[in-house]
Amino acid sequence: MKTSSSRATEAPLPLKFNSFLEMIMNLSKNVILLGPTLMALSGYGIAAPVSDASEEAAGGTQAVVVTGVGDHGGDSWIRAEVQKRINERPSLRFFNIVVYAAQQEVYLKGLVDTAMDRELGEAIARTVPNVKNVYNDLAISGA
């Protein structure tokens, strides 16, 4: 006894529906790639999530502001630039120096080997444009 498959007798999907499906598939590919990209950019201080308090209270979503490379002077750019310049120095590269920036003020935290390394970290932070003040909380190991 032969059984027929219901798929064999189904009519093809309308053309409009197929193009709609293609559009959704393309959109989902872009959204899937956008998430990791924004996470990577936020690590460099180029993208940051921003939300409106009224939207958040209503269960809204967050927007992402991409500041771009030309945003010289913003806190995220200052933090990224100080961190980059510290990591470019061989004597400081391997220390776990954490850089924070708020209202154009830089905060350095971590552990270094010598007082000279501590002073160098602060001096580097002071060379970044638009830095108003540097708070050096770098501790010297063994001190």
pLDDT, one tens digit per residue, over 104-114 is 999 999 999 99
Report if residue 4 sits inside a domain.
no
Q: Of how many residues is the chain composed?
A: 143
Same domain, 85 and 130: yes
Same domain, 83 and 42: no
Domain count, the chain: 2
Per-position pLDDT tens, the chain of length 143: 555 554 555 555 556 666 666 766 666 555 555 556 555 555 555 555 554 454 445 555 554 444 444 556 689 999 999 999 999 998 888 888 999 999 999 999 999 999 999 999 999 999 999 999 999 999 998 76
Report if residue 6 sits inside a domain.
no
Report if residue 122 sits inside a domain.
yes
Same domain, 81 and 136: yes
pTM: 0.50
Report if residue 3 sits inside a domain.
no
At which residue do the structure tokens 């798929």 appear? 7
Structural domain for 118, as ranges? 75-140
Report if residue 119 sits inside a domain.
yes
Q: List b or e across 33-61, with b for residues whose CB sees 16 or more CB atoms inside 10 angstroms.
A: eeeeebeebeeebbbbeeeeeeeeeeeee
DSSP percent split of the chain into helix, strand, coil, nearest 5? 45, 20, 35
